[in-house]
Structures are given as structure tokens and as C-alpha cells.
Amino acid sequence: MTNSWPAEQDLRLKLAGWIDANHRGIAPFAVEWQGTTYRFASREYADLAHFTDGEGARRNGGRFTPIGAQRTVYLSLDRATATAELDSWYEYYNVPDTAFRPRVLAAVAVSVGLMLDLCCPDTLTELGLNAEQIAEERRPVNDAGGVAATQAFGQLVAELGFEGLRFPSARHEHGVNLALFPGNFVDVSHALMLNPG
């Protein structure tokens, strides 16, 4: 992680304590979350088996996912935020409008029991983080062959057993996203594509 971030060991101890407290029913920052979310995917992955498997982020990386690390499903709480997140990729890589490939937008029903809520200012304060750090652009670091601080953090969160993260969108004002770790789902936790056709 970059120098401006807390030491990994400090984050590990804090987060592990929250996991333990959650198992004892007293964790204020490890929350349950359920609702309807939205996601774009290319047509070849827009089916019930692949839409929420998280393999795309594992192969290509994401805000909280180093390439080759945990499977991660990125979702937005509204369609406008999902669109802004997709557009940011095209804009960053200067993809011309004429080169856009078809994408499928679908709703996803989510229910998880152990979500780290980075939209809560108290969570960030307790971790020694701030909103600007969570919103840091990871692509230049990845393009240079490195792992961004947010990615190392996400990998740590997944490794410790959280089922996902809730975090502010860096692309759409007031937008909120989820990064879910399907490999950590327990009991009845799920991210299920609705109306797969």
C-alpha cells in the first residue's frame, strides 16, 4: 500500500477484530445489506451462470481487486451510477464512440450478512482512511504493472472473510457501489441476476 495508507498490519488487526465482534453480534462496522443493484456486462457474460461470478474482475482487476486475486462482483445501487462507471472506462482509455461494444444492463438481487461499509464516515475514521484514498484512481498503477492501495486493501478485506464492501462512486456524485466477494458468501448470501431471459 502507498505511504499515505495505514500499515497493512494495523488494518489487518482492526478488521479482524470487527470480524470477531460480528461473530459475537457486536460489530458496528460489519453490516448486513440487501437490495436491488445494477451491473453492465458484455453479451457473452450476460447469463445467469456468469453475470455475477466475479471472474471478470479477477482476470482484469478492479478498484478493490488485484489481477489474479479474489473473484469480485462490482455493482451499483442505481442505473445512473452503473452507466457512469462504465463510461469512465471508455473515457480513461479514450475509446471512440464508434468502437463501443454492446453491453447488457441487468438488475441483481443482493443479500449479504457481512459487508464493510466504507460509505460510513465512522468506518473510515476507525481505519485511519478518508474518502479521497478510497476514490484514488488505480488504473495508472495497474498500467505500470503495480497493485494500487485500494486493491491491496480489497484483497485484505476479502482474505479476512468479509462478503463485500459498500463504497462511494468516484464517477457519479452521490452514487454508491458494492464490491462483493462470492467466494466468501455464507448461508443464504447471494448476488442473483434478475430476469436473465
Q: 57, 89 in Cβ contact below 8 A? A: no
Give kind and range of the element (H or E) at residue 9: helix 8-23
- Give 60-80 as a DSSP string: H-BTTB-TTS---EEEESSHH
C-alpha cell at 194: 434478475
Segment 180-191, tens digit of pLDDT:
999 999 989 999
Q: 156, 162 in Cβ contact below 8 A? A: no
The pLDDT, as a whole number, for residue 29 is 78
Q: 106, 183 in Cβ contact below 8 A? A: no
67 to 5, 113, 154: CA distances (angstroms): 20, 26, 12
Domain residue ranges of the chain, discontinuous segments joined by +: 8-21+30-193
- pTM across the whole model: 0.93
Indicate the range of 16-25, 98-107, 109-118, 138-147 predicted with least confidence: 16-25
The pLDDT, as a whole number, for residue 3 is 52
- Specify the DSSP class assigned to residue 51: T
pLDDT over 90 (residue 147): yes
pLDDT over 60 (residue 132): yes
Residue 191's DSSP bridge partners are 110
Tell me the mean pLDDT in the region 25-38.
84
